[in-house]
Amino acid sequence: MATIIAFFLFSTLLQSLIASVPPPCVFPFIYNGKSYNSCTEDASQNRPWCATTPNYDQSKKWKYCATKEYGGNSGGKPCAFPFTYKKRTYYSCTNEDAEIGRFWCATTGSYDKEEQWSYCADTRLAANSQGPCVFPFIYKGQSYSACTKAGSSDGKLWCSLSSNYDREPKWTYCTPSELRPCKFPFQFNNKFYFRCTRDGAYDNQLWCATTANYDKNSKWRACATEEYEGNSKGKRCVFPFIYRGKTFNFCTNENSEDGRFWCSVTRNYDQERLWSYCADTRL
C-alpha cells in the first residue's frame, strides 16, 4: 500500500510540474488579424511575447518570450551553432524528441558526443526556421551540397531545411554562434588536418575546427565554399589586391576584428574599399 501511495504522490507531483511549464510559442500566430512569425512587442510595453496557439484572437493564450536560454542539463548555457544531433547539422533550435514541443539546442558543437543542452530563448525562434540543414538541397532547380549565398540579398550563407526549397521554402542562415575562423592545423580523432575535411561528416559537408583540438572541445564550423558577406555582399576575391600600400596574393586576417579571413573584391582596396569574407576552402 505504501508503494502505491508513493507512486500516486510522485505521479501527481510530476503532472503538476508539467502543468506549470508554459507551452511553447506557436509560429506563425494570429493577433488582431495579423500574422506574426516571431515574438512581438506589440501592445506589450517593450516586453516580447508570443501566442501559444495558432490564433490568439480566438484562444487568448499567450506567454512572455524567454530572451535567454534556460534549463536543460547544461543549466541554461547558451546555444552552440552549428551543432550535430543524430548525425545532422543544426543552425537553429529544434523540438525533435522534446517534451511538450519546447525548442532546445545543444550547448556544444556535438550533442551526439557530449549530450549537453538547454531550452532555447523564444526570441531565437521564428516560423519556418527550425530543424537541420538538408544536404543536398534544390534551389531554383540547382543542387547545393553546402550552405550558399545564392539568392541572398545581403550575401549571407544559408541552407534549406527541406530537400527541395522550391517546393517547401524552409530555410535558416548558416551563422555560427561564435564568429571564429578555421584553425589550421587542427586535431580530429588524433589526426592533424591542414585544410577543410569531410572526415566524420555524416552529411558529407566540408568542415574545420575553430580551435587547435576538436577532440578536446568540439568547436567547429562548416567550411564556406564561396565568398560571403562583407560590404560587397559576397563578391568574389580579386588577387592580387592592394591594402594599405601592400600587395596581397592571398586572403588575410589583418585588422579583422574576429580573426576571419577576408579579401578585396577590386584590385585596390585602398581606393574602392570593397571586401568579402573568404571561402574557407581558399585558406
183 grid coordinates: 584553425
Is residue 161 located within the same domain as residue 213? no
Name the residue range of residue 158's domain.
Answer: 69-177
* Residues 185-220 as b or e (16 or more Cβ within 10 Å = b): ebbbeeeebeebbeeebebebbbbbbeeebeeebbb
Best mean pLDDT range from 44-48, 100-104, 121-125, 211-215:
211-215
Cell 578585396 sits on residue: 264
Whether 196 has a pLDDT exceeding 60, the answer reads: yes
Q: What is the mean pLDDT of residues 228-241?
A: 97
Distance CA 234, CA 131 (A): 25
CA angle 207, 212, 214 (to 5 degrees): 55
Whether 200 has a pLDDT exceeding 70, the answer reads: yes
Among residues 86, 95, 108, the alpha carbon closest in space to that of 25 is found at 95
Predicted pLDDT of residue 202 = 87
Q: Judge residue 249's burial from the number of C-beta atoms within 10 Å of its C-beta, 0-12 exposed, 13-18 middle, 19 or more buried.
A: exposed
Predicted pLDDT of residue 21 = 62
> For 242-260, how does the pLDDT look when each residue is reduced to its tens digit (9 = 90+)?
999 999 999 999 999 999 9
Is residue 97 located within the same domain as residue 47? no
CATH number at residue 171: 2.10.10.10
Give Cβ neighbours of residue 190 (< 8 Å, ≥ 6 apart). 215
In the structure, what pLDDT confidence band is assigned to residue 125 with cuts at 50, 70 and 90?
Answer: confident
Beta-bridge partners for 63? 50
Tell me whether residue 131 is in a domain: yes
pTM of the model: 0.82
- CB 79 within 8 Å of CB 118: yes
Q: Is 173 left (phi over 0), alpha (psi -120 to 50) or beta?
A: beta
- CB 28 within 8 Å of CB 86: no
Tell me whether residue 21 is in a domain: no
Predicted pLDDT of residue 2 = 42
Tell me whether residue 79 is in a domain: yes
Is residue 216 located within the same domain as residue 236? no
175 grid coordinates: 551563422
Is residue 124 located within the same domain as residue 207? no
Residue at a domain's end among 41, 64, 87? 64
Query: Mean of the per-residue pLDDT values for the chain?
Result: 90
Domain count, the chain: 4
Among residues 195, 25, 197, 208, the alpha carbon closest in space to that of 124 is found at 25
Predicted pLDDT of residue 6 = 37
Tell me whether residue 2 is in a domain: no
Among residues 227, 33, 248, the alpha carbon closest in space to that of 149 is found at 227
Residue type, 39: C
Tell me whether residue 216 is in a domain: yes
Predicted pLDDT of residue 203 = 87
In the structure, what pLDDT confidence band is assigned to residue 236 with cuts at 50, 70 and 90?
Answer: very high
Q: What is the mean pLDDT of residues 147-161?
A: 95
Cell 512581438 sits on residue: 40
Write the DSSP string, 227-271: -B-TTTTSPPP-SSEEETTEEESS-B-TT-TT---EEESSSBHHH
Tell me whether residue 197 is in a domain: yes
Distance CA 124, CA 65 (A): 10
Is residue 235 located within the same domain as residue 277? yes
Is residue 116 located within the same domain as residue 74? yes
Is residue 261 located within the same domain as residue 173? no
Tell me whether residue 262 is in a domain: yes
Is residue 108 located within the same domain as residue 35? no
CA angle 142, 174, 71 (to 5 degrees): 140
Is residue 73 located within the same domain as residue 138? yes
Is residue 89 located within the same domain as residue 158? yes
Is residue 116 located within the same domain as residue 200? no
Is residue 194 located within the same domain as residue 252? no
